[in-house]
Amino acid sequence: QVQLVESGGGLVQPGGSLRLSCAASRSIAERNIMGWYRQAPGKERVFVASINSGSITNYADSVKGRFIISINNAKNTMDLQMNSLKPEDTAVYYCYLVVFSITNWGQGTQVTVSS
């Protein structure tokens, strides 16, 4: 089983930026796909962004043009640069890693966008 640990969450004002990181306990170079979901209070967990083994990225329409996902295979880490944050981006952000067709999840990190 792969351990995933997120970091970088916090409180930020609207229009601000945050950078989330996800550190994996094993190599991510063999991933099928890796990415982020988020869950707002009282709502379902929804897709945010992903990057596959060919480093092709995909984004939810709600974050396209504002968020950037990136991978560092040497460090087994994945980042999510979040810019122009909005109050509706407030949620717990979870990273996930699919390797050998098994999905692994992190414990989540809280992002709060508020003035």
pLDDT exceeds 90 at position 28: no
CA 111 to CA 25: how far, in whole Å? 23
pLDDT tens for 85-101 read 999 999 999 999 999 88
pLDDT exceeds 90 at position 1: no
With bands split at pLDDT 50, 70 and 90, how would you rate the model's confidence at 30?
confident
pLDDT exceeds 90 at position 29: no
